[in-house]
């Protein structure tokens, strides 16, 4: 091994400028690959920031309007979802797949007051404990609604940290608010928790126990939405089939056509997530391909230079063969040289690419753009992971081998008599 490296070093030392210029092409190729993938990651991270806010194995069902007449009833009939529908999901065939069910009621247009500070037009979101997991509610202080709150219809409330910050006059000691009272409309609620509210969006809902809201307003069994989580689905087809099963059950319960897609609205987050993953996959594949094509020009350069080197060293290979070098010895020498050039300059390119990604993160990654009234990040953490770095290493070694193999075969074919004659 040491001998091989020494031989390669001797050879490279003689052609410094040429080697460096060739290496530059490889370094540039891998640099572009890393920067492209980093920027791609940043773009995806920025887009998908939102999708982290709920568990992907959930569906949310809302009431809608029938789109066709059925069973003697006319179309455009309003469907209202009720407690009984949630009961459907607790029975076969759904019970084996469905894990957690949460019903939601939303009442808007209240004013929330805390001392002299207040918020107008807030919404009360009456829900169940299971919602915390399904909607990925992040608590920053206190706790979420529990079963006892539901059972006792307690007048408790979860506010967001954005409200809390205002109440504390800019402070962040959210724990101080837990146990305090706020007024919502004419009613007094005890703050039991502060949750993280997404900045730059209208994520300002206040959570209260489902039963509390229902008893206060004396509502009937109507709900706004039913959210439930499930397990055991993997493919898009399974997801679609399950969604249809749910739709058919709901439609039947409300005397709507089983295949009426507007009688109830189903937000299938699992399906959405699958499609997102697919889209992400396509984008990343496209970036890899573009990056690799950039790299190809570098590889062709290495191959070209190795061919010239082999031509120049024909006489030397002739001597080596006369002295007993087997074709394999020569092949190994050239391929190893090619891999070494590619890997060495490739790593320089990779390193520079990662530095460029960090610079991108520090500049563009911190800036935001206004889009549809919301300010969003253009790039979020535009860097590559260890996996990509390892992938790029494999690419470099494979590329170096490919670049070397053709010239190496040329070198191994050198006939000693012809080579020794050519002086």
Partner 1 sequence: MLIELKNIHKTYDNGQPLHVLKGIDLQIEKGEFVSIMGASGSGKSTLLNILGILDNYDEGEYHLAGKLIKNLSEREGATYRNQMIGFVFQSFNLIGFKTAVENVELPLFYQGVNRHRRHEAAMAYLEKMGLTGWAGHYPNEMSGGQKQRVAIARALITHPEIILADEPTGALDSKTSVEVMDLLTRLNREDGVTIIVVTHESGVANCADKIVHIKDGLIEKIEDNRAHHSSVFGTDTIMK
Task: Using CB under 8 A, list all residues that contact partner 1.
Answer: 2-3, 10-11, 14, 315-316, 318-329, 416-417, 420, 423
Q: Identify which of residues 15 and 252 has a Cβ nearer to partner 1 in the complex.
A: 15
Q: Is the dihedral angle over the CA atoms 205, 208, 211, 217 positive or is it negative?
A: negative
Which tokens is 49 given? 């920031």
CB of 328 to partner 1, least distance (A): 7
Compute the distance between CA of residue 12 and CA of residue 302 in angstroms, rounded to an integer.
13
CB of 301 to partner 1, least distance (A): 24
Residue 260 has a CB neighbour count (10 Å cut-off) of 22
Nearer to partner 1, 326 or 368 (CB): 326
Nearer to partner 1, 11 or 41 (CB): 11
For 182-210, give the DSSP string: EEETTEEEEEEEEE---TTTT--PEEEEH
Q: Pseudo-torsion of CA 385, 394, 15, 409, nearest 10°?
A: -170
Measure the CA–CA gap between 58 and 230, rounded to whole angstroms.
6
Nearer to partner 1, 69 or 327 (CB): 327
Residue 69 DSSP label:
-
Minimum separation from the CB atom of position 331 to partner 1 (A): 11
3-state DSSP assignment of residue 256: coil
CB nearer to partner 1: pick between 1 and 237: 1
Contacts of 242 by beta carbon, 8 Å cutoff, 6+ apart = 97, 230, 233
**Residue 297 Cβ vs partner 1, minimum distance, rounded to whole Å:** 30
Shortest distance, CB of residue 6 to partner 1, whole angstroms? 9
Residue closer to partner 1, measured from CB, 3 or 71: 3
Please, what is the end-to-end C-alpha distance for the chain in angstroms?
31
Nearest alpha carbon to residue 236 among 281, 282, 284, 272: 272
Least distance (Å) from partner 1 to the CB of residue 14?
6
> How far apart, in whole angstroms, are the C-alpha atoms of residue 287 and residue 355?
19
Smaller CB separation from partner 1, 316 or 358 = 316
Joined tokens for residue 159: 């506010």
- What's the min distance (Å) between Cβ of 400 and partner 1? 23
């Amino acid at each position: 091994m040491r001998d091989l490296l020494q031989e390669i070093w001797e050879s490279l030392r003689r052609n410094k400028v040429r080697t460096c210029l060739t290496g530059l092409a490889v370094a540039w190729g891998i640099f572009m690959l890393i920067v492209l993938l980093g920027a791609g990651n940043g773009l995806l991270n920025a887009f998908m920031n939102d999708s982290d806010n709920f568990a992907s194995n959930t569906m949310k069902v809302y009431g809608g309007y029938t789109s066709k007449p059925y069973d003697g009833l006319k179309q455009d009939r309003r469907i209202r979802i009720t407690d009984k529908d949630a009961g459907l999901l607790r029975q076969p065939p759904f019970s084996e797949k469905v894990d957690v069910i949460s019903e939601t009621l939303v009442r808007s247009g209240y004013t929330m007051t805390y001392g002299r500070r207040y918020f107008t037009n807030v919404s009360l979101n009456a829900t169940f404990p299971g919602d915390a997991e399904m909607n990925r509610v992040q608590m920053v202080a206190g706790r979420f609604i529990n079963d006892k709150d539901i059972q006792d219809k307690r007048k408790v409330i979860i506010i967001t940290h954005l409200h809390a910050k205002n109440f504390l006059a800019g402070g962040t000691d959210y724990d101080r608010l837990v146990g305090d009272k706020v007024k919502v409309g004419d009613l007094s609620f005890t703050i039991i928790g502060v949750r993280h509210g997404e900045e730059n969006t209208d994520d300002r809902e206040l959570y209260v126990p489902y039963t509390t809201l229902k008893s206060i307003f004396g509502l009937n069994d109507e709900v706004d939405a039913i959210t439930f989580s499930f397990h055991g689905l993997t493919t898009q087809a399974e997801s679609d089939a399950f969604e249809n099963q749910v739709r058919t059950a709901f439609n039947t319960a409300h005397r709507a056509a089983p295949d009426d897609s507007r009688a109830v609205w189903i937000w299938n987050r699992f399906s959405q997530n699958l499609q997102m993953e697919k889209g992400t996959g396509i984008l990343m594949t496209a970036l890899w391909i573009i990056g690799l094509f950039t790299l190809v020009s570098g590889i062709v350069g290495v191959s070209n230079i190795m061919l010239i080197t082999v031509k120049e060293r024909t006489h030397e290979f002739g001597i080596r063969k006369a002295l007993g070098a087997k074709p394999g010895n020569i092949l190994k020498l050239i391929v190893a040289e090619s891999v070494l050039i590619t890997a060495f300059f490739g790593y320089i390119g990779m390193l520079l690419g990662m530095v460029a990604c960090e610079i991108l993160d520090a500049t563009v990654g911190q800036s935001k753009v206004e889009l549809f009234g919301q300010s969003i990040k253009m790039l979020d953490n535009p860097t590559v992971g260890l996996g990509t770095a390892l992938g790029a290493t494999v690419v470099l070694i494979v590329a170096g081998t490919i670049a070397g193999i053709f010239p190496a075969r040329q070198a191994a074919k050198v006939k000693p008599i012809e080579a020794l004659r050519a002086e």
